[in-house]
Amino acid sequence: MDTEAGLSKHLIRLRLIEPPRRDTPVIHARALGPLFHGFAEADYACGSCDAVLCAGITPGHLAGVVFRCWCGAFSMVPST
């Protein structure tokens, strides 16, 4: 258990996918650390290494967006 008291955030692990087609837009994380910062309750994490790619996201936002983590894995934001 690593939840901190009073912290309402929850981690959503993105769906690990195969490398997408070349015409698929991909957001590349070139270093460790979130690419997006918001003030909502969820964090999106790489489906492979659990690095946080988006912090403070509203669950469901950026659905269908593909991220390439600095670890090299491709992850897609789930639509639900």
Interaction site with Zn ion (CB under 5 A): 46, 48-49, 51, 69, 71, 73
- Rounded to a whole number of angstroms, the minimum distance from the CB of residue 46 to Zn ion is 3
Between 51 and 57, name the residue whose CB sits nearer to Zn ion.
Answer: 51
Between 48 and 61, name the residue whose CB sits nearer to Zn ion.
Answer: 48
Q: In 20-50, which positions are buried (b, 16+ CB within 10 angstroms) versus exposed (e)? A: eeeeeeeeebeeeebbbeeeeebbbbbbeee
10: which strand partners?
Answer: 42
For residues 53 and 32, what is the distance between their CA atoms, to the nearest angstrom? 8
Between 16 and 63, name the residue whose CB sits nearer to Zn ion.
Answer: 16
- Rounded to a whole number of angstroms, the minimum distance from the CB of residue 6 to Zn ion is 28
- Rounded to a whole number of angstroms, the minimum distance from the CB of residue 15 to Zn ion is 13
Which residue carries 């090299």 as its tokens?
Answer: 72
